[in-house]
Amino acid sequence: MYTKQQFAKLIDHTLLKPTATKQDMIKFCEDARKYHFAAVVVFPFWVTLAVKQLQGSDVKICTPIGFPYGANTRTTKIAETKNAVANGAEEIDVVMNIGALKTGDYDFVKRELTDIIDATNLSGMTQESGSTLVKVIIETPLLSKEEKIMACQICRDVEVDFIKTATGLSPNGAVEEDIKLIRSVVGPSIGVKAAGGIRTVEQAMNLLDAGASRLGTSAGVTLMQTYDPDMLLKGST
């Protein structure tokens, strides 16, 4: 069982609404600071604001790259990565090129991810070189089981830090079966981030039990307000 503090550090507090305003972002960052989430996930445009709002806190700044379908050119995704790191992003959630994967162009997918990882190591202008976490979104709802396995093998081979299930834009983003499958391929050394439709503590706990090590959700505040480790312990006895 996790303490409330431990549970908070498993959550990537996410705000990726195109209608979010500056005031929305400020309030969002205030909540992240209050609850001590692992990270905030914001669009690249808001990274500099999030850095300012969360200065001195223990909350990391994360931003998506190639969002939402990974179909940007390799050059564009590399440039996005360098710009995000230069602006203060400490973690990136990069969307794998889904079309290339489904085409079977595995060499391209591997080369692109390698180049993006290299870009984080070479562009650490605001932090120590190589300290940026790279989480790869494989968008499990759009893949067959065989494609999920191949995506995980590629991520394992290029040594990403995390594999993330989904962007949250496709149905059934985070399901226990996918977490178990990912974990079976990559073993314990790579993080697994469950994302997509996580709204309740019960969902969160089931995904963590299945092998997830991070949760991506826009319902972070609600989860923290409803998470009661004492009640969960009573329910398990």
β-pairing, 162-164 with 214-217? Answer: unpaired
- Catalytic, 93? Answer yes
What the block records as the tokens of 81 is 């990565």
β-pairing, 91-95 with 162-164? Answer: unpaired
> Which residue of the set 77, 161, 164, 178 is catalytic?
164
- Calpha distance 81→112 (Å, rounded): 12
Cβ count near 198 (within 10 Å) = 25
* Residues comprising the chain, all counted: 237
Write the CA distances from 51 to 47, 86, 128, integer angstroms.
Answer: 6, 11, 16
> Which residue of the set 93, 148, 161, 178 is catalytic?
93
What the block records as the tokens of 65 is 């790259």
- Catalytic, 60? Answer no
Long-range contact list for 128-132, CB < 8 A, 24+ apart? 131/90, 132/85, 132/89, 132/90, 132/91, 132/92
- Catalytic, 178? Answer no
- Calpha distance 215→125 (Å, rounded): 28
**Residue 69 in contact with residue 104, Cβ under 8 Å?**
no
**Residue 193 in contact with residue 214, Cβ under 8 Å?**
yes
Cβ count near 90 (within 10 Å) = 21
| Residues involved in catalysis | 93, 164, 193
